Amino acid sequence: MAATEQHHQLAAPKFDRPTRLLIVVAPYYKDIADQLVAGAEAAISAAGAEHETIEVPGALEVPTAIRIAARGADYDGFVALGCVIRGETTHYDTVCNDSSRALMLLGLDGLAIGNGILTVENRAQALARAEVSGQNKGGGAAEAAMHLIALSRKFLRKSKGIGFKPDSENIQIA
């Protein structure tokens, strides 16, 4: 059904200065994760940006890894990738809801994140969404992160000229 729908896609952003993204992938379903990563890498390269890729055990660890990297490394944005396929227990709901909520909270906290963690009913749905020649949700997540990077560069400034300046800015060297 979704494959026959037409969706509007924004043109991929272009950057005039170096841009670095971190792809964080949970390769629980390795073949699906590999397709997601391939799509994300292609989108990032097409925009002239650079990336690094790390793996974590599962979808619940993706937001935590992003938070750790955001605190200690110099990335402009993040791409969250993985796949959760419904099983026989309510664990599916917990993983889907909690990973998505954590990523949203990180985004609201100012991080540029593209969420490419698939939440599907079965393997066929996952493959249709992950394949680079299919719906390419990995590429879409990378482009979403890059659009947010572009927005943050447009709207965020180091200082709005109000408030106090840190002492380090007031020091005069004779």
8 is catalytic: no
Tokens 């059904």 correspond to 1
Tokens 């396929």 correspond to 85
Tokens for 97? 């809801």
Residue of 36, 37, 34, 43 whose CA lies nearest to 12: 43
Helix (H) or strand (E) holding 46: helix 30-46
Residue of 100, 103, 77 whose CA lies nearest to 23: 77
Amino acid at 88: E
Beta strands in the chain (DSSP E): 20-25, 50-55, 77-85, 113-120
Catalytic residue, candidates 7, 51, 91, 147? 91
Radius of gyration of the chain (CA): 18
Residues serving a catalytic function are: 91
